Amino acid sequence: MTAGRSAAAKTGVTRVVCEQLAPRVGDLTHNKGLALDAVRRALADGADIVVLPELVTSGYVFETAEEARTTAIAVEDSFFSDLSAVLAGTQGVVVLGFCQDGGDTLYNSAAVVDASGVRAVYRKTHLWDRETLFFTPGDRTPPVVDTAHGRIGVLICYDLEFAEMPRRLALAGADLIAVPTNWPLVEHPAGQYPAEIIQAQSAARANGVFIACADRSGVERGQQWTQGTAVIDQFGWLASAVTGPTGPTASGVASASEQRAAADLFLHLSRDKAISPHNDLLGDRRPDIYTQETPLL
Amino acid sequence: MTAGRSAAAKTGVTRVVCEQLAPRVGDLTHNKGLALDAVRRALADGADIVVLPELVTSGYVFETAEEARTTAIAVEDSFFSDLSAVLAGTQGVVVLGFCQDGGDTLYNSAAVVDASGVRAVYRKTHLWDRETLFFTPGDRTPPVVDTAHGRIGVLICYDLEFAEMPRRLALAGADLIAVPTNWPLVEHPAGQYPAEIIQAQSAARANGVFIACADRSGVERGQQWTQGTAVIDQFGWLASAVTGPTGPTASGVASASEQRAAADLFLHLSRDKAISPHNDLLGDRRPDIYTQETPLL
C-alpha cells in the first residue's frame, strides 16, 4: 500500500483506476497475465478499485463457439485465486469481465474480486450482436457489493444503454457502477464524445452515481474500439477519460494516447440525492406514472 | 403553406422548428402574442411541427402563487382558438407550455394543438424546485398524439431526466418527443454540452426517437437560461442546436446568437429499432430483470 493511498483512505477518498487493455483473442494464458499485471500496476498507483475490460481473459471477436469455449473459466479457476493473492494485504477491489464456463453453456460475465476471493459474479443480460451466437444471457439482476470503499454495482457494456439497469443499481444503493466493456468503434460527429460515453454520463447524472468504464485498446481481427475508458462523477461529468471528443481535446481530459483513466473520488457523495431544496433524484420518481398505459390520441 | 413545405411532405420529410423565446413573466397578453407570432414565423419557414418553451404564455419565475394564478388559462381560453386559427389550412402541429387553470389548483401543462383545436393536454408530473410551491403535479402519463407527420409524445423539462418517461413514450410508439422546457443556466465543463442536452441525447439514442427541446432566451428576474434549444435525431446526435459546447463551437452547430433550432427529419425512421442483425432497442429490454430485487452482497 502506498503512502498516497493510505492518506487518501483517511480522508475518505477512493482512487478508481480503469485499465484499457488489449487482450489476445483465444490466448487465455497471456490474457490472465495481462490482467494480473494491470491490477499490480494499478495497485502500485494507489488504486482502491480497479476496473478491467469485458471478456479481458478471453478476447472478444470469436470466430466460433468452440473458440469461445477454449477461453472459458469457472470461478474455481486458479486465475481468481491468483488475483486474490495479488490483492492480499490491501483493501483493493477488482471488477473484470471473463468468459464464464457454465457447464453446457457460456456466459459473458463480470466478477467482483477482493483479497477474500470472488465476492460476486454477474452474467450479462443484454447481449450485443454476435455475442448472441456464443453466450447465454443471464437471468439475474446485477448485484451491489458492499466493500470497504463503498457499494459497487456491476453492468457489462450494452447493459448500460438500458436506463432501467443503472436505475435498479442506484435504487439498491450503489455508489459506483463498474462497467467492463468492449465498445466497437463507430463514427460520431466532430465535437461530440462517443455515444456510449454520453449514455454513461446521462446514467450517472440521472441517478447521482459514479460510473467507471474500462474499454479496449488495440485492434482485434480488424475490430477497432472506441477507447471510451472513463471515470464519470455523480453529476455526469468526466473526471478522467482516455478519449476526448473528435476535434479539439477538451480541457481536463487525457490525450488519446493515454491508456488509463484514474480519478480520486468521494464516493459517499453519491448518497446525497438532493439536487434542489425541493428535489431528490430518486425520491422524485413517479412509479405510479411509469406503469400507466400511455394513451394514443 | 409554402412550396418548400409542400415538397417536403411529398418526400416524407417533416420540418421541426423549436423557437427559443423570452416571455415576460406575468404579462399574459404580451406572451400570447409572442407565442402566436413565433408560430406564424415558423410556419412561414415551412415548419410542420413547432415547439415553444414551457410556460411560454405566463413566464416562469413567479414570486407568489397569486402571481402565477393571474397568468393561468384553461383550454377554453381564446388563445387556443386563436392558435388553431393561425394553423387553419395547414397540417401544422404546435406543442407549447402554459400555466393551466385547474379550478382550485394550477398545473404546469403542455398542449398539442392543430387546426382542429387542442388535441391533448399533459400536466407536468416531475416538478422542479419552486414549481412545487405553485403547481400541482399531474397524475397521468403523457399522451402520444397521432398526427399527419407522425406520433408526437410530450414531456416538460425535468420530466425528461427520468428515463422512465421517454421509455414509456417510445414503447407507446412515439416518433418524436416534444419537450417545452425552461432550463436554468448552471455551469458545465468546457468542451461539453449542457447536461440537459446530454440527457436528451441519451434518451433519443436509447429509444431510437427524435427529441425536440424548446428552451428559453432572455433573463427573467435575474434567472439566466441554458438556451439548450435543440433538435436531436434518433441516434442521439444534434440535428440543430442553439448552443454549442463551452469552448470551441462544434462544426454543424449554430452559433449562440441563433434563437431557433430547425431540422428536416424523416420521422418514420424512428420505427426501425434494429441496431444490429441481432439487436432491437426495445425488443432487447428485459422487464423480467428490471423488476427483480437487487441483492446487496
A81 is written with which cell numbers? 485465486
Minimal Cβ distance to A290: which of B164, B173, B248: B164
pTM of whole model > 0.95? no
> Chain B residues with CB inside 8 Å of A251's CB?
189-191, 247
Look at A201 and B205 and tell me if their CB atoms are within 8 Å.
no
pLDDT one-digit tens code per residue, B238-250: 999 988 775 334 4
Residue A29 Cα, gap to closest chain B Cα (Å): 30
pLDDT of residue A178: 98
The residues in A 178-237 lying below 8 A from B, measured between CB atoms, are: 188-193, 195, 198-199, 201-203, 205-206, 235-237
pLDDT one-digit tens code per residue, B189-235: 888 899 999 999 999 999 999 999 999 998 999 999 999 999 999 99
pLDDT of residue B190: 84
> Chain A residues with CB inside 8 Å of B168's CB?
289-290, 292, 294
The ipTM estimated for the assembled molecules is 0.93
pLDDT of residue A206: 98
Above 90 in pLDDT, residue A58?
Answer: yes
What phi and psi values does residue B5 have, to the nearest 5 degrees? -70, -40
Residue B261 confidence class, pLDDT cut points 50, 70, 90 = very high
Above 80 in pLDDT, residue A251?
Answer: no
Three-state DSSP at B96 gives: strand
Section A43-69 average pLDDT: 97
Section B108-112 average pLDDT: 98
pLDDT of residue B256: 41
pLDDT of residue A246: 57
The mean pLDDT of chain B is: 91
Q: Is any Cβ of chain B less than 8 angstroms from the Cβ of A255?
A: no
Residue B162 Cα, gap to closest chain A Cα (Å): 7
pLDDT of residue B39: 97
> Chain B residues with CB inside 8 Å of A191's CB?
244-245, 248-253
Above 50 in pLDDT, residue B35?
Answer: yes
pLDDT of residue B246: 57
Neighbour count for residue B269 (Cβ, 10 Å): 16
Question: Are the C-beta atoms of B42 and B19 separated by less than 8 Å?
Answer: yes
Q: Is any Cβ of chain B less than 8 angstroms from the Cβ of A250?
A: yes
Section A224-242 average pLDDT: 95
Question: Are the C-beta atoms of B109 and B122 separated by less than 8 Å?
Answer: yes
Look at A141 and B205 and tell me if their CB atoms are within 8 Å.
no
**Residue carrying the nine cell digits 421509455:** B167
pLDDT one-digit tens code per residue, A169-216: 999 999 999 999 999 999 888 888 999 999 999 999 999 999 999 999
What phi and psi values does residue B124 have, to the nearest 5 degrees? -50, 130
pLDDT one-digit tens code per residue, A126-158: 999 999 999 999 999 999 999 999 999 999 999
Tell me the percentage of chain A whose pLDDT exceeds 90: 85
pLDDT of residue A4: 37
For A188, residues 6+ apart whose C-beta sits below 8 A from its C-beta are A194, A195, A246, B237
Above 80 in pLDDT, residue A10?
Answer: no
Tell me the percentage of chain B whose pLDDT exceeds 70: 92
Query: Which residue of chain B comes nearest to A130, CA vs CA?
Result: B278
Query: Which residue of chain B comes nearest to A278, CA vs CA?
Result: B129
Closest alpha carbon to B210 in B153, B251, B163: B153
Q: What is the C-alpha to C-alpha distance for residues B57 and B50, in angstroms, rounded to an integer?
A: 15
Query: Which residue of chain A comes nearest to B246, CA vs CA?
Result: A250
Taking one residue from A and the other from B, the number of pairs with CB-CB distance under 8 angstroms is: 226
Q: Which of B121, B132, B141 to mutate to test the interface with A (most CBs of A within 10 A)?
A: B141
> Chain A residues with CB inside 8 Å of B143's CB?
294-297
**Residue carrying the nine cell digits 398524439:** B145
Above 90 in pLDDT, residue A250?
Answer: no
Q: What is the C-alpha to C-alpha distance for residues A229 and A217, in angstroms, rounded to an integer?
A: 9
The letter for the amino acid at A221 is: R
pLDDT one-digit tens code per residue, B56-100: 999 999 999 999 999 999 999 999 999 999 999 999 999 999 999
pLDDT of residue A1: 33
